[in-house]
Copies of this chain bind each other. A is one copy, B any other.
Amino acid sequence: MKKSLGVKAYLYPMPALVIGTYNDDGTPNAMTMAWGGLCDFDKVALNLEESHLTSDNVAKRMAFTLAVPDCAHAAEADYVGTVSGHDVPDKVARCGLHAVKSENVDAPVFEEFPVTLECKVLELQHGIAGFRVIGQIVNTLADESVIGGDGEIDSDKTDGLIFETFQRTYRRTGEKLGGAWDIGRKFEK
């Protein structure tokens, strides 16, 4: 039996992706976003509001990084998503994140997060669902600590942070169930 709950923004899982940009004065800025992700094999989409300092920064430098936090840095990811850079321009330093300049794009890379996409802006869109940024992935950075024996990222090592919108909590990643494009094959008869 299904119950109607009305208009709810209830999807699962949601990411807590940290967007890295530079403010006008070169201070690194970070903002956590759940409304966005991949939109192609080599592109990401950010669904933002015009009022964010991150929106200004992305439009000016036409570049950003997009980091995947681990559970050890859930509080830092939460903090930079809660506080506006307009009010606290040094929020990155306040929560102890360390920024280095990306070698590939005009945006900061945060040392603490295990996986980071370096992106150039392809298009800025103003539409019915706010301000949307399409980014071209130009490189992917991964900590050596999350690289497996095959040279690729091992999801047993990333300790990926999950955001859930039902009760607005963060959750840890659980065990593997099986392979994608694989566990459904039993229905191919």
- Cβ contacts under 8 Å, A36 to chain B: 37, 39
In the bound complex, how far is the Cα of B10 from the Cα of A153, in angstroms?
A: 9
Is A76 in the interface zone, CB < 8 Å from B? yes
Interface string of A137-161 (1 = CB under 8 A from B): 1111111100100001111001011
| Cross-chain contact A40 with B45 (CB below 8 angstroms) | no
| Cross-chain contact B154 with A78 (CB below 8 angstroms) | no
- Cβ contacts under 8 Å, A7 to chain B: 42, 137-140
- Cβ contacts under 8 Å, A165 to chain B: 38
Q: A76-B184, A171-B174 are in contact. Are A143 and B2 (CB under 8 A)?
A: yes
| Cross-chain contact A185 with B152 (CB below 8 angstroms) | no
Distance of A163 from chain B, by nearest CB (Å): 6
Question: Which stretch of A21-29, A55-63, A127-135 is in the interface?
Answer: A127-135
In the bound complex, how far is the Cα of B60 from the Cα of A137, in angstroms?
A: 33
Mind listing 27 A-B residue pairs with CB under 8 Å?
A: A2-B143, A5-B152, A9-B137, A10-B117, A11-B15, A12-B68, A16-B180, A34-B38, A38-B47, A39-B132, A40-B129, A45-B47, A45-B129, A78-B181, A78-B184, A152-B166, A153-B167, A155-B164, A158-B166, A169-B176, A169-B180, A171-B173, A171-B174, A171-B175, A172-B176, A173-B173, A173-B174
Query: Which chain A residues have a beta carbon within 8 Å of chain B's beta carbons?
Result: 1-17, 34-45, 47, 66, 68, 71, 74-83, 91, 94-96, 109, 111, 115-117, 122-123, 125, 127-130, 132, 134, 137-144, 147, 152-155, 158, 160-189
Taking A12-B155, A162-B162, A171-B175 as given, write out 9 further A-B residue pairs in contact, using a Cβ cutoff of 8 Å, ordered by the A residue number: A5-B153, A10-B142, A10-B153, A12-B15, A35-B40, A36-B37, A78-B181, A162-B173, A170-B177
